[in-house]
Chain A
Amino acid sequence: MISNLETAENPEKLKRVVIEPLTRVEGHGKVTLLLDENNQIRQARLHIVEFRGFEKFIQGRPYWELPVLVQRLCGICPVSHHLAAAKATDMLVGVKQITPTAEKIRRLMHFGQTLQSHALHFFHLSSPDLLFGYDDEVRHRNIIGVIEDYPELAKKGVLLRKYGQEVIRLTAGKRVHGTGAIPGGVNKSLNTDDRNYLQKDIKQIIEWGEDAVELIKTIYHEHPDYHRDFASIQSNSMSLVNARGEHELYQGGLRARDAQGGDIFDHVDGVRYEDYLCEAVKPWSYMKFPFIQSLGQEQGWYRVGPLARINNCESLSTERAEQQRLEFMPLENGQPVHATLATHWARMIELLHCAEAIEQLLHDEDILGHDLLLKGDMQARGIGVIEAPRGTLFHHYEIDGDGVVQKANLIVSTTQNNQAINESIRQVANNYLSGHELTEPMLNQIEVAIRAYDPCLSCATHALGKMPLEIELLDADGNSLSRIRKQASGEICLGR
């Protein structure tokens, strides 16, 4: 850990460098660096500057609205929130197992969403750094530069994403913010025209998925030391796995492993997440800091997402993706891979897996079925756990006897990666920036580290009432007239 860079002793005496806004990430954030007179980095923090509040304002709403309301947290991975909330509401309506058609339609939707999200991240957001280098000219280091220099590659990225969006449209009703999953099942299945339409292009999508893995593999091996060491941190990992220990995105048990690959817990029912995970609050961030209870806050932080999932699973259920996993794992001689930039590689293996899994489901007659919905006996508490593209996602709701939401707790992937992202930027700040005169390309390295996690900062700042808040009233000249601050403890301070 490089946590000694979290808080400097005398911040008022240090130079402050701010990277704001962070670019090519989902949502709004900034990084602050504090430097001493010798340009040594003394403090490095990732801040989230937006504020949402979903956990609060869904209180008082009826539970059946949750899958549709809460997905509005995000425009990139709304399906993850849609399905996590739907799973939680399955539990509220007393349905332990939805129908085969409903489960396969939801899985199809989820594979489509992970495919499009991973394609968006790799091709649109990260490929400029990977193809041109972090120090490429700013005006060229973006998706337009990729379109100019690698038009075929850029086209594949766009069409991969389009295909995933089409899967979502046909299963959820709309490409963004659909209504397909409802408490106890789904509201539609596919018809044969829908299936034929998706089958038409799936072989091409799989080929392109495989090309994407080959591309990132080549990029990685061109500079193996850089990719292995840059922003690399030793961390615990958590993900879902199925009963056989296979990679799982929709339904499975929680598995947490330490940095050496040793079990911390395994096959834990996500409903019991509160027995295993805690969330810490820090006064300088809107984003919480989850950790594994048994290891404590200092040692218990962990990583979720593609790298954690590939590290944690015994295998992938699809042939080509599994072959790629077998080529990936020897990077650290069978030990967990902690190279943060290897997350891109793991992500593309998952993209390929999603494409193959979609093809399998498109051959399954259950997706054409009409048995869509089940009802059971109402329960007061519902918890849904799913693997979103960026990592494990928890939705927890409690309702009263009238069906109205009384309590909500969402633990999103980026929040669970909070400490890991902070550790990575501190590693970069310490190893690559400290002691140097800072330039734009050097600062971009901080962003390169953050981008590897594909953080969604909009999703990550959903809470209300648990983090410090400050509101300042300024006059027309920018002078402070009054200020009110709510501490993490809940104490309210007034002042000028």
Chain B
Amino acid sequence: MTQCHFFIDGKDIPFHPGQTIMDAAMTAGIYIPHLCHNPDYEPTGSCRLCLVKLNGRYVSACTRPAQAGGKVENQSEEINQQRKTLLQMLFVEGNHQCPGCEKSGRCQLQAVAYYVGMLSPYFTHFYPNRQLDASHPEMMLDFNRCILCGLCVRASHDGDKKDIFAISGRGIKSHLVINSPSGKLGDSHFNAHDLAASVCPVGVFLPKHKGYEVPIGQRLYDRQPISQVGDVAGQNKPAGRS
């Protein structure tokens, strides 16, 4: 297969035709911040966090095919400031209470925020009123933390072939829904070992009766930044599943 080259922040990156900027960067070990991207599923470019500049124009790295000779700007102050603003908005749209969250220290949203230097909230919190779904015997859903990345929707559709999750509503009223007669997870065909349960970059999917079992200091992002450790999904992938 023909191998081409492009540049990220001046570094020569090889790629195969058809690969996206994100795919090629991941293969080359270059970190481009992202939340809604998982290489196992079709990219949607919805979180906009992976925006980079290709030859001076903003594009989302997860959906834009790499271009031979293209010059990509990834780690610039201007772009990281844009990413920081996007994260500041994500944090206030939901209820992200890191200090008490079970996923603290192994949450991709928190880790990316640290990575781009977001250390405190900036915008006024929306404090949306969202409920838990604790109806399933093994898994609880905490919608407070949902960032509408759609990864569970894609994993359930493409990986599990169950179509249990969907995003309903429009604009600010968009929300995650469950495909079951009552709208509750407990009435669906969901299984705690489904791929959909392993891809969430935040803390929506919480295995029941387990909490804080990994001590502080041993959690995924306690010692190293996300740029070196990688995504939560990579750690959560069920054994034997590709």
Q: Which of B127-135, B167-175, B187-195, B229-237 is the contact stretch?
A: B127-135
Query: Quick one: given A65-B100, A72-B99, A72-B100, are A403 and B212 in contact (CB under 8 Å)?
Result: no
| Chain B contact residue count (CB 8 A cutoff) | 19
Closest chain B residue, CB of each to CB of A171: B215
A261 within 8 Å of B (CB atoms): no
B213 within 8 Å of A (CB atoms): yes
Query: Quick one: given A65-B102, A404-B134, are A179 and B208 in contact (CB under 8 Å)?
Result: no
Give the contacting residue for A182; candidates B140, B206, B213, B217; CB below 8 A: B213
Give the contacting residue for A65; candidates B131, B135, B211, B214; CB below 8 A: B211
* Interface mask (A38-75 → B, CB under 8 Å = 1, otherwise 0): 00000000000000000000001110110111001000
Q: What is the bound-complex CA distance between A61 and B135, given in angstroms? A: 13
Query: What's the nearest-Cβ distance from chain B to residue A61, in Å?
Result: 8
B216 within 8 Å of A (CB atoms): yes
Contacts of A183 in B (CB 8 A): 209, 211
B210 within 8 Å of A (CB atoms): yes
Q: What is the bound-complex CA distance between A144 and B213, given in angstroms? A: 42
A143 within 8 Å of B (CB atoms): no
Q: What is the bound-complex CA distance between A210 and B132, given in angstroms? A: 51
Q: What is the bound-complex CA distance between A404 and B134, given in angstroms? A: 7
* Interface mask (B31-49 → A, CB under 8 Å = 1, otherwise 0): 0000000000000000000
Give the contacting residue for A64; candidates B99, B132, B212, B217; CB below 8 A: B212
Query: What's the nearest-Cβ distance from chain A to residue B34, in Å?
Result: 28
How many residue pairs bridge A and B at CB < 8 Å? 59
Query: What's the nearest-Cβ distance from chain B to residue A169, in Å?
Result: 9
Contact, CB under 8 Å: A62 / B211? yes
Give the contacting residue for B212; candidates A93, A187, A378; CB below 8 A: A187
Closest chain A residue, CB of each to CB of B131: A60
Query: What's the nearest-Cβ distance from chain A to residue B223, in Å?
Result: 13
Contact, CB under 8 Å: A404 / B132? yes
Q: What is the bound-complex CA distance between A61 and B132, given in angstroms? A: 8
Contact, CB under 8 Å: B134 / A93? no
* Interface mask (A160-176 → B, CB under 8 Å = 1, otherwise 0): 00000000000011100
Q: What is the bound-complex CA distance between A93 and B102, given in angstroms? A: 18
Contact, CB under 8 Å: A64 / B209? yes
Closest chain B residue, CB of each to CB of A402: B134
Contacts of B100 in A (CB 8 A): 65, 68-69, 72
Give the contacting residue for B140; candidates A180, A188, A403; CB below 8 A: A403
Contacts of A188 in B (CB 8 A): 215
Closest chain B residue, CB of each to CB of A181: B212
Contacts of B131 in A (CB 8 A): 60
Query: What's the nearest-Cβ distance from chain A to residue B136, in Å?
Result: 9
A381 within 8 Å of B (CB atoms): no
Contacts of A378 in B (CB 8 A): 209
Contacts of A177 in B (CB 8 A): 99
A369 within 8 Å of B (CB atoms): no
A268 within 8 Å of B (CB atoms): no
Closest chain B residue, CB of each to CB of A182: B212
* Interface mask (B51-73 → A, CB under 8 Å = 1, otherwise 0): 00000000000000000000000
Contact, CB under 8 Å: A62 / B212? no
Contact, CB under 8 Å: B209 / A179? no
Query: What's the nearest-Cβ distance from chain A to residue B206, in Å?
Result: 7
* Interface mask (B153-187 → A, CB under 8 Å = 1, otherwise 0): 00000000000000000000000000000000000
Within 8 A of A (CB), among B134-162: 134-135, 140
Query: Quick one: given A72-B100, A402-B134, are A64 and B210 in contact (CB under 8 Å)?
Result: yes
Q: What is the bound-complex CA distance between A154 and B132, given in angstroms? A: 49
A300 within 8 Å of B (CB atoms): no
Contact, CB under 8 Å: B215 / A179? yes
Contact, CB under 8 Å: A93 / B132? no
Query: Quick one: given A173-B217, A177-B99, are A68 and B212 in contact (CB under 8 Å)?
Result: yes
A178 within 8 Å of B (CB atoms): yes
Contact, CB under 8 Å: A62 / B140? yes
Contact, CB under 8 Å: B132 / A60? yes
Q: What is the bound-complex CA distance between A402 and B140, given in angstroms? A: 9
Contacts of B213 in A (CB 8 A): 182, 187, 373
Contacts of A68 in B (CB 8 A): 100, 102, 211-212
Contacts of B216 in A (CB 8 A): 172-174, 178-179
Q: What is the bound-complex CA distance between A64 and B101, given in angstroms? A: 11
Contacts of A72 in B (CB 8 A): 99-100
Contacts of B210 in A (CB 8 A): 64
Contact, CB under 8 Å: A187 / B134? no
Contacts of B140 in A (CB 8 A): 62, 402-403
Contact, CB under 8 Å: A62 / B215? no
Q: What is the bound-complex CA distance between A65 and B140, given in angstroms? A: 12
- Which chain B residues have a beta carbon within 8 Å of chain A's beta carbons? 99-100, 102, 131-132, 134-135, 140, 206, 208-217
Given contacts A65-B211, A375-B209, 7 further A-B contacts (CB under 8 A): A62-B206, A72-B99, A93-B209, A172-B216, A179-B216, A187-B215, A403-B134
- Which chain A residues have a beta carbon within 8 Å of chain B's beta carbons? 60-62, 64-65, 67-69, 72, 93, 172-174, 177-180, 182-183, 187-188, 373, 375, 378, 402-404
Q: Can you pick out 30 interface pairs between chain A and chain B where the beta carbons lie within 8 Å of each other? A: A60-B131, A62-B134, A64-B102, A64-B209, A65-B100, A68-B102, A68-B211, A68-B212, A69-B100, A72-B99, A72-B100, A173-B215, A173-B216, A174-B216, A178-B216, A179-B215, A182-B211, A182-B212, A182-B213, A183-B209, A183-B211, A187-B213, A187-B214, A188-B215, A375-B209, A378-B209, A402-B140, A403-B209, A404-B132, A404-B134
Closest 4 CB pairs of A and B: A173-B216, A64-B211, A402-B134, A188-B215
